[in-house]
């Protein structure tokens, strides 16, 4: 069993990005700039955005944080998005989700200029990704593909089961795995799937993105499988300073001995999600996807 080290891989990629940024600056180019809109004070969102800002600093990007209170109106948010769309210094920006219930999320995501949509949530980016055109791909699936490639894991002709069909992880993940580059035979399993245990146990590559801590047990995993755990549920813990710890979707201690490769939680997919946003921001700054 080999542990897939997301921390180390993300560190390697960050060093590569930093080097590219230094090159851009040395050639007299503009410092890449990521902006983030954060609404309210949700603990998870606060810490995710803080990490994003810290990551920008680490690779030499400029970052801007724009905050609104929970009672912000849709009109106010749309006005800020329009401003960022038209700000030539901002290469890419994100609106941290979830938004308060009175704001229709789709209206907000669709207002972002897709050329600056480094989260890859805009329908133009999702659509282009599905038909195999260059696009911003959402961070978690992008990071998982990068891990699979960098570990030299064979995907061609393999049975890949994706558990979960969310718009930002399961669905795009299933599309990427079935495309020409990866060539896997993909099954998308979800809450209505019958015989989930048997479906999972047939997977050569099992990607778990259901958000249910330790749901995937050893009897659901084939001997020698590659297991990618996307789960990051916060469970209360007295052993940590923060008062919680992250649990994956996989019962790690029981499943790991059966795997050829497995990602731990934390330290597997999470760091790769963070680094993917940096990769997308660099692609936006260098205009490699859209001119």
Q: Which residues are marked as active site?
A: 52, 96, 119
By CB under 6 A, residue 111 contacts ligand GUN: no
Interacting residues with ligand GUN between 121 and 140 (CB under 6 A): 139
Cβ distance to ligand GUN smaller for residue 4 or 169: 169
Handedness of CA 256, 245, 43, 211 (dihedral sign): positive
E strand or H helix at 254: helix 252-255
Q: How far is the CB of 45 from ligand GUN (least distance, A)?
A: 7
Please identify, using beta-carbon distances, which residue of 117 and 204 lies nearer to ligand GUN. Answer: 117
Q: What DSSP assignment string belongs to 68-84?
A: E-TT--HHHHHHHHHHH
E-strand spans in 119-241?
159-163, 185-189, 205-208, 226-229, 233-236
Q: Is 65 in the site for ligand GUN (CB under 6 A)?
A: no
How big is the site for ligand GUN, counted in residues (CB under 6 A)? 6
Q: Which helix (H) or strand (E) holds 67?
A: strand 62-68
Task: From 259, 266, 171, select the one nearest 220 (Cα to Cα).
Answer: 259
Q: Which is nearer to ligand GUN, 96 or 155 (CB)?
A: 96
Shortest Å distance, C-beta 250 to ligand GUN: 20
Nearer to ligand GUN, 112 or 199 (CB): 112
Beta-ladder partners of 163: 189, 208
Residue 98 and residue 84: Cα distance in Å, rounded?
20
**Of the listed pieces 4-12, 88-96, 217-225, 246-254, which binds ligand GUN according to CB under 6 A?**
88-96
Per CB under 6 A, the list member of 94, 196, 203, 227 interacting with ligand GUN is 94
Q: Which residues bind ligand GUN (CB under 6 A)?
A: 94-97, 119, 139
């Amino acid at each position: 069993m080999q542990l897939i080290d997301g921390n180390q891989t993300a560190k390697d990629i960050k060093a590569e990005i930093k080097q590219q940024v230094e090159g851009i600056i040395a050639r007299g180019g503009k410092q890449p700039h990521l902006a983030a809109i954060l609404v309210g004070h949700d603990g998870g969102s606060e810490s995710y955005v803080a990490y994003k800002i810290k990551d920008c600093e680490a690779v030499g990007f400029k970052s801007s944080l724009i905050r609104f209170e929970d009672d912000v109106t849709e009109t106010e948010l749309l006005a800020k998005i329009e401003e960022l769309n038209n700000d030539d210094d901002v290469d890419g920006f994100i609106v941290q989700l979830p938004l308060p219930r009175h704001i229709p999320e789709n209206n907000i995501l669709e207002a972002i200029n897709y050329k600056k949509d480094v989260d890859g949530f805009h329908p133009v980016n999702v659509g282009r990704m599905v038909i195999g055109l260059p696009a911003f791909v959402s961070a978690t699936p992008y990071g998982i593909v990068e891990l699979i490639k960098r570990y030299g894991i064979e995907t061609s002709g393999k049975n890949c089961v994706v558990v979960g069909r969310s718009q930002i992880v399961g669905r795009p993940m299933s599309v990427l795995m079935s495309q020409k580059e990866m060539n896997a035979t993909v099954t998308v399993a979800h809450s209505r799937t019958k015989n989930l245990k048997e479906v999972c146990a047939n997977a050569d590559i099992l990607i778990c993105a259901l958000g249910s801590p330790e749901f995937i047990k050893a009897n659901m995993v084939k001997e020698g499988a590659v297991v990618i755990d996307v789960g990051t549920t916060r469970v209360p813990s007295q052993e940590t300073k923060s008062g919680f710890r992250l649990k994956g979707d996989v019962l790690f201690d029981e499943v790991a001995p059966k795997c050829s490769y497995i990602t731990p939680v934390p330290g597997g997919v999470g760091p790769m999600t963070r680094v993917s946003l940096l990769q997308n921001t660099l692609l936006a700054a260098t205009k490699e996807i859209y001119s």
